[in-house]
Chain A
Amino acid sequence: MDALLLQFFSLDVAITYFPKMLRGLWVTIQLAFFIVISGLSLGLGLSLLRALKNRLLNFAIIFFADLMRCLPPLTLMFIFFFAFPLIGIPLSGKVAAWLALSLVLAAFSEEIFWTAILSVDKGQWDAARATGLSFSYTIFDVILPQALRISIPPLTNRTIAITKGVALASAVAVPEMLGEAIAATSYSSNSTPLIMAAVGYLAIFFPLTLISQRIESRIRWSL
């Protein structure tokens, strides 16, 4: 029992690596924040473009979504980090990670938004168009509010998954939390930093799921 406590819950190790872990947590939160903002916005934008039903545009969107959902995010990150400098576009590790994970989240969330838009009853479009609402008013006032509600649970899942994906960024030299924890674990030959990272993730995700439940219940209008 003592051995376990010493290996996973050592106070000395925790104090030594606390500043590093805190910086790692901050990097993870920052990256996740920007990824979620840009990924979800791009995904929503693409799903709206898809609603325009332009054949060529839709082909491009579907191709993008399928590609980004299939490729390992790490591969994308490497391409941005190692290949782009060779064509004269040097990207920092953070930017490469942000770009890669944003694109992946955009692809997944585009599919989620689009499915939600499709699931809104066709009669809603009829009613809106019959009262003379334009396409954009129909989308923004009638369809989206209903679609967003349906989207929230799967979007929350995706947001959690992509935030965990930030851990991949250590591969392109970003000092995010999990990478720092693994490094600290090897330096100290002690697993406490991993537990600290776990606590850090919980600190990120518990509030996130709470917020998501809040939003969901807030817009539960029909009985």
Chain B
Amino acid sequence: MTLLQVSGLRKSFDETDVLKNIDLTIERGECVFIIGPSGSGKSTLLRCLNRLEEPDEGIIRLSGVEITGKVKDINRIRQKIGMVFQSFNLYPHLTALSNVTLALRRVQKLHRAEADIRGLEALGEVGLSDKAHSYPGTLSGGQQQRVAIARALALKPQLMLFDEPTSALDPELVGGVIDAIRELQAAGMTMVIVSHEMRFAREAANMVVFMDGGEIVERGSPTDVFENTSHPRVADFLKSFT
């Protein structure tokens, strides 16, 4: 079953075409990795999917329902699409638990007690129940990123977007975040991950999408892209990682 369908997506900043006619279909439960050199439009594509960036052209459908154009309640739709950022973006003035429950209370209008239960559940899923009342400033980068994952999970999204979730982490903290994402995958979550962790992509991806210059250059199974690519641009890029 198709969860997300992107067709003819275009986006430009000033005179630069950042996304040129992107088509992408993602099935429910799939784990899709987007890789490519910096400036290739990976993050912009991801940010268009929940309309943090407004696409210039093209249609995005979530479970068959169009979410581009004159959609009335984009905030409702955003709840179905969780997003995790490179720099965590936790709210520094709120505890871990309040970070997780803010949207539950404000958008889903849950009472504090109810929201706290859901929040603690989500923190439990990333192994941080004991940090519920800590402020982000007192947590390690890896813990902060897991709180950010819990914040997205608490809304029970259908789709999770990860924008270089481990790029800002010290190497020894990457593992914990990757484990949290793996558990999500095991639970059947549909995910789109922009990442430079090639080994992670090779192991976890159902589909790997290689972008360059605002276009999808190649897409396929990890074996297709990592072992048997026929595109020189892809081969060049992968060479830089070995």
Contacts and interface: CB of A to CB of B under 8 A. Distances in A.
Contacts of B50: 130
A132 B91 contact: no
A30 to B, nearest CB: 34
A222 B88 CA distance: 15
B211 interface: no
A131 interface: yes
A221 interface: yes
B106 A133 contact: yes
Contacts of B151: 127, 131
A128 B107 CA distance: 11
A141 B77 CA distance: 20
B202 interface: no
Contacts, number: 80
A123 interface: yes
Contacts of A222: 92-93, 135-137
Interface in B109-151: 135-138, 148, 151
Given A126-B52, A126-B89, A219-B93, A131 B135 contact: no
Interface string A124-139: 1011111111100100
A12 interface: no
B87 interface: yes
Nearest to A146: B93
Contact of A145 (B83, B93, B137): B93
Given A131-B79, A131-B151, A137 B107 contact: yes
B155 A127 contact: no
B137 A132 contact: no
6 contacts: A123-B85, A132-B103, A134-B107, A137-B107, A222-B135, A223-B135
Interface of B: 50, 52, 75-79, 81-83, 85, 87-93, 102-103, 106-107, 135-138, 148, 151-152, 155
